[in-house]
């Protein structure tokens, strides 16, 4: 079809992925690590030499994400951190980078160590100060996360892009390309932990980068780094990811609707002091979220309990439908007491990170109601 397709259509058809050999509407799983040549040593297919850089299942999953992101190229990695590392490894020694504070701690921890080892000047800035910082610091690379994990800060991508001549990389894991297409707002590269909502079934570890300029020098360096460092996603994981993304728009829509309802309920509860969720009007980043998130505000929120550590853990312990586990973006709802996981990172003891799934919203609200019942 000539007209641009809706993301729901692109996802449902997996960007046209079929098994042409059998006629199947589901692409085949091809686990081969190497590919044959004929008696003249010509390849059976010129695009298949060795699985470290050539794999049909990988290319199929990348095609779906590339279409959803409105990107010119997409590369999958074995984890979100592997994708982030591939970006930072393109920096020369003594480069300058600006990184948002209050983002996923794994990113902050790795970036600090990397910059120290490579003599890279690291400037960390709050979400509200990023544009001004970029304008004065002249960074080679800017890394932001919106909405951020677990603080749910939102960043005006266009504002930061306009303030800096450096490469802008945006982690949009919590939004997914269904809610925010970061490249359309001025990002040079968008990153996702595809482990999270993009796959959404808690059974695949993956990361992905997409770019609006596949001819840029940094993208060429990232391509080479992935190939030579061997940071490849396996064919089975890529096949599972393609399968999962067929329902991505539906899942994101339902999770966002559920999260909005739950956030409103919890904010009104007398045992909750605050709910960090960009869909709530009192959230400091609500206006920015409204501008660049379309169709909802995602599944991730943080809830602040009125009490101390023991009170917060008591609530977490009483939840029955919300599973106590690390991660986010899955079809099942999860909760995590972040201070227990990251006690030295400034996370308050009364914060519960919540990932809202696709269950019935009345069931989810009832679960929190009984968990917050002091007399229960």
Residue 208's DSSP bridge partners are 76, 192
Which pLDDT value is given to residue 2? 65
Q: What is the pTM of this model?
A: 0.95
Domains, the chain, with CATH or none: 7-245 (3.40.640.10), 248-371 (3.90.1150.10)
Strand ranges in the chain using DSSP code E only, listed in sequence order: 73-77, 96-100, 121-125, 141-145, 167-171, 189-193, 207-211, 272-276, 300-305, 323-324, 334-337, 351-355
Which pLDDT value is given to residue 1? 59
- Whole-number mean pLDDT of the chain? 95
Contact criterion met (CB below 8 Å) for 330 and 300: no
Q: Give the pair of three-digit tokens for residue 18.
A: 């079929």
Q: Which helix (H) or strand (E) holds 358?
A: none
Flag residues of the chain having pLDDT under 70: 1-2, 375-376
Contact criterion met (CB below 8 Å) for 225 and 208: no
Distance CA 225, CA 230 (A): 8
Query: At what angle are helices 80-88 and 105-117 packed, to 10 degrees?
Result: 30
Contact criterion met (CB below 8 Å) for 220 and 226: no
How many residues comprise the chain?
376
Q: Give the pair of three-digit tokens for residue 187.
A: 């990002």
* Spatial CA neighbour of 230 closest among 110, 56, 55, 77: 77
DSSP 91-145: SPTT-EEEEESSS-HHHHHHHHHHHHHTT-EEEEE-GGGHHHHHHHH--SEEEEE
Which pLDDT value is given to residue 206? 98
Q: Give the pair of three-digit tokens for residue 324.
A: 């106590």
Distance CA 168, CA 222 (A): 14
Which pLDDT value is given to residue 343? 87
State the CB neighbour count (10 A cutoff) for residue 35: 17
Distance CA 258, CA 134 (A): 36
Which pLDDT value is given to residue 18? 86
Q: What φ, ψ does residue 97 adopt, rounded to 5°?
A: -130, 145
Q: b/e string for 59-89 if b means 16 or more Cβ within 10 A?
A: bbbbbbbbbbbbbebbbbbbbbbbbbbbbbe
Contact criterion met (CB below 8 Å) for 74 and 208: yes
Q: b/e string for 335-357 if b means 16 or more Cβ within 10 A?
A: bbbbbeeeeeeebebbbbbbbbb
């Amino acid at each position: 079809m000539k007209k641009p397709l809706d993301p729901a259509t692109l996802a449902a058809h997996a960007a046209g992925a079929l098994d042409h050999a059998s006629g199947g509407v589901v692409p085949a799983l091809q686990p081969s690590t190497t590919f044959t040549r004929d008696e003249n040593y010509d390849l059976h297919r010129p695009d298949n030499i060795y699985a470290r850089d050539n794999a049909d299942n990988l290319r199929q999953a990348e095609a779906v994400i590339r279409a959803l992101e409105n990107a010119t190229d997409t590369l999958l990695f074995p984890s979100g951190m592997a994708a982030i590392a591939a970006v930072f490894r393109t920096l020369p020694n003594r480069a300058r980078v600006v990184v948002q504070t209050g983002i996923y701690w794994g990113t902050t921890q790795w970036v600090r160590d990397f910059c120290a080892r490579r003599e890279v000047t690291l400037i960390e800035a709050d979400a509200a100060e990023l544009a001004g910082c970029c304008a004065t610091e002249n960074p080679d690379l800017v890394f932001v996360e919106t909405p951020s994990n677990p603080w749910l800060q939102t960043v005006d991508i266009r504002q930061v892009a306009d303030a800096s001549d450096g490469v802008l990389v945006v982690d949009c894991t919590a939004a997914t390309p269904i809610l925010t297409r970061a490249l359309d707002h001025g990002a040079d590269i968008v990153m996702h932990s595809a482990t999270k909502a993009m796959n959404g079934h808690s059974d695949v570890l993956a990361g992905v980068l997409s770019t609006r300029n596949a001819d840029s020098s940094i993208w060429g360096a990232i391509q080479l780094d992935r190939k030579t460092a061997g940071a490849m996603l396996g064919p089975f994981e890529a096949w599972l990811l393609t399968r999962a993304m067929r329902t991505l728009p539906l899942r994101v829509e339902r999770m966002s609707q559920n999260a909005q309802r739950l956030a409103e309920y919890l904010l009104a509860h007398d045992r909750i002091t605050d709910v960090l969720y960009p869909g709530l009007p009192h959230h400091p980043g609500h206006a920015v979220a409204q501008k660049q998130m379309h169709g909802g505000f995602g599944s991730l929120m943080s809830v602040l309990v009125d009490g101390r550590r023991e009170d917060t853990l008591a609530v977490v312990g009483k939840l029955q439908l919300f599973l106590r586990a690390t991660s986010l973006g899955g079809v099942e709802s999860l909760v995590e007491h972040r201070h227990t996981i990251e006690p030295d990172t400034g996370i308050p003891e009364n914060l519960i990170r919540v990932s809202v799934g696709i269950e019935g919203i009345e069931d989810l609200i009832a679960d929190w109601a009984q968990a917050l019942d002091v007399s229960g």
